[in-house]
Amino acid sequence: MRSPLLLGVALLAACTGDQSIRIQNVAPSVSITSPITDAVFEEAETITFTGVIQDDRPIEDLSYRWASSVDGELPTLDVPDAEGNVELVTANLSAGVHVIELQAIDGDGLDGSDNITITIEEIPELPSIRVIVPTGGSSDAPQSLPFIMLANVSDAQDPPDQLVVTVSDDSNGLLCYAVPDGNGDAQCTYTWDTLGNYLVTFQVEDTDGNTARANLAIRVVDPLDFDADGDGYSPNGGDCNDSNINVYPGADEICDGLDNDCIGTTAIDQGTDCYDDDGDGYCESPPCTNTSGTPSIPDCDDGDASRYPDPTVNERVNGVDDDCDGVVDENTSVYDDDGDGFCESGNCVNANGTQPDCDDGNTEISPAATENCATAYDDNCDGLSNNQNATGCTNYYYDQDGDGYGLPGSNSQCWCSGGSAPYTGTNTNDCYDQNANARPNQTGWFASHRGDGSFDYNCDNAQEKRYNGRSSPCYAEFAPFTCETNSAGWSSSEPACGGSGTYVPDCSNSYDAICMAACLITGTYLSCTQCYTCDERYNTQQQQCR
């Protein structure tokens, strides 16, 4: 079905014969449906405003606003429903006369609005008053003695010093004017001479004449029946000190130096924190009233004379703090003293380790530690020091003959120092591991083979003879008349390694003294060779090799 607007446009075009169609936008229509204009409300009262918005455009294309001539634009949270109904709920309008406007604006900027007038009436605020001394709404008062009453007053508009406070009772009339201080506390002190019951009224009045009242029931009693300190006992009721709320028959002793229970059967302060109950010289809250001197350290158990705060007290394995230092069983076998997670017993009160600590004074030593070659002690508490595979260990190779060298490809073990026999080789350079003399860099000579028929003692893959070559003939040196050989050596061919032969190391000289004297006399010294004899020095030598 066509809308009336479109139908009208079509008929207009048909009647005029105009080939163009012009559609003109219409401003939204707005009406406020409630409340009615000139309605009156109280300040802070909740008010619901409703309205209806209509337009030739879709309703969702419209925007709208509520506004007050006093408070300005009001918060708009509601969305129009399909029929254009809108709503605003508020309790925050200021006192005064408001013109409330509902305005709607379409997409082309055309707007429509409606308004009403309402009045918000201000509610006068009354002052407040409450009795704070005595408490509870009723009290006894002593006959012929001043009695203090105290009230607290306040007002939203006036400061305390502008409020008027009066106190009266039903028999005597006005008792006093109570002047409030800066906190609103107003005190009245009055003395009743006659026993009996009285209804006391406190009244406060503000500068606008608004008043508020509070009542207090008073019973005037004999002073000896009056509980002055409020502990529930009067002098006639057995209170031995009616000016102290902590002193009355059957009261617990407290640290005040007074006989709190009023019966004298207990010592002053006995059983309190400032009394040394177990006689060890300390109490829970020093200074103590019954000890010599004034120890300043609190006792952690005033019922056990063996427990007190003194460094001479030794902790015992008992699960309690014997020396009152806040730590249980420290320096015992069940306490991990060095903080490494283990204790001497293995069953620790402050750690989870279950294996015994072999040194509970060194955090580096525990069953969880790793053995370290850099230390001389037993790091991991296994009973061994610097044992195999410790941190920082050195590989030592299988060394059967103990000469410090292992064979190539030999097995090894890791030790801190020196290895452990037969793993003592620092390298794998040995050529024969069954003779300690057969090793690299051997400088000695040997007349028998190393054990396998070889004379290669220095592991250079060769056999070197110590004594080489044949000796040369001896000859005479005439000054200073000695015999020498050109070279030491074998008198015949060199024997094999380990073989024996005659070896000439040098020559020996001898001469004929008479012959020599004749030569010297005759001056034929250089021709007197016949006076000298040069003989070889020799011995049987076994050929040494390496």
The enclosing domain of 100 has a CATH number of 2.60.40.10
Of 225, 254, 275, the last residue of a domain is 225
Residue 480 banded pLDDT, cuts 50, 70, 90: low
Question: What SS3 state is found at 206?
Answer: coil
Both 115 and 168 in one domain: the answer is: no
Chosen domain end from 436, 464, 492: 464
pLDDT tens digits along 399-437 = 999 999 999 999 999 999 988 999 999 999 999 999 999
Q: Is 344 part of any domain?
A: no
Residues above pLDDT 90, as percent of the chain: 71
pLDDT at residue 10 greater than cutoff 60: no
Residue 364 has what DSSP assignment?
A: T
Q: Is residue 235 part of a domain?
A: no
Q: Are residues 134 and 196 in the same domain?
A: yes
Q: What is the dihedral of CA 183, 185, 186, 190, to 10 degrees?
A: -150
DSSP state of 287: S
Q: Is 452 exposed, middle or buried (0-12, 13-18, 19+ CB in 10 A)?
A: exposed
CA 514 to chain centre: 111
Same domain, 441 and 419: yes
**What was the pLDDT predicted at 2?**
36
- Residue range 65-94: average pLDDT? 92
pLDDT-derived band at 479 (thresholds 50, 70, 90) equals low
Dihedral sign for Cα atoms in the order 13, 16, 22, 26:
negative
Residues 142 and 220 both lie in one domain: yes
Name the band, by pLDDT with cuts 50, 70 and 90, for residue 6: very low
Segment 112-123 mean pLDDT:
94
- Domain assignment present for residue 282? The answer is no
Does residue 46 belong to any structural domain of this protein? yes
In this structure, the answer to whether residues 85 and 143 fall within a common structural domain is no
Residues 113 and 151 in one domain: no
Mean pLDDT of 54-72: 92
8 A C-beta contact, residue 467 and residue 545: no
The arithmetic mean of pLDDT across residues 289-316, rounded, is 87
Does residue 334 belong to any structural domain of this protein?
no
Q: Does residue 437 contact residue 451 with C-beta atoms inside 8 Å?
A: no
Picking from 285, 247, 281, the residue whose alpha carbon sits closest to that of residue 264 is 247
Q: How many CB atoms lie within 10 A of CB 87?
A: 17
Based on the fold, state whether residues 91 and 175 are members of the same structural domain: no
Section 447-474 average pLDDT: 92
If one counts the domains in the chain, the total is: 4
pLDDT the model gives residue 17: 47
Residues 180 and 116 in one domain: no
Residue 509 binned pLDDT confidence (cut-offs 50, 70, 90): confident
Residue 292 token pair: 């010599």
Q: Which domain range does residue 79 map to?
A: 29-121
Average pLDDT, the chain: 89
Tell whether the model's pLDDT for residue 300 goes beyond 80.
Answer: yes
Contact 364, 375 (CB under 8 A): yes
Whether residue 510 is contained in a domain is answered as yes
Average pLDDT over residues 170-179: 96
Residue after which a domain boundary falls, among 121, 140, 167: 121
Task: Give the whole-angstrom CA distance, residue 514 versus residue 41.
Answer: 170
pLDDT at 486: 78
**Do 74 and 115 have their domain in common?**
yes
- Judge if 108 and 157 occupy the same domain: no
Confidence at 324, pLDDT banded by 50, 70, 90: very high
Q: Provide CB contacts within 8 A for 115, sequence distance 6+.
A: 32, 99, 100, 101, 102
Q: Determine, yes or no, domain membership for 483.
A: yes
- 363, part of any domain: no
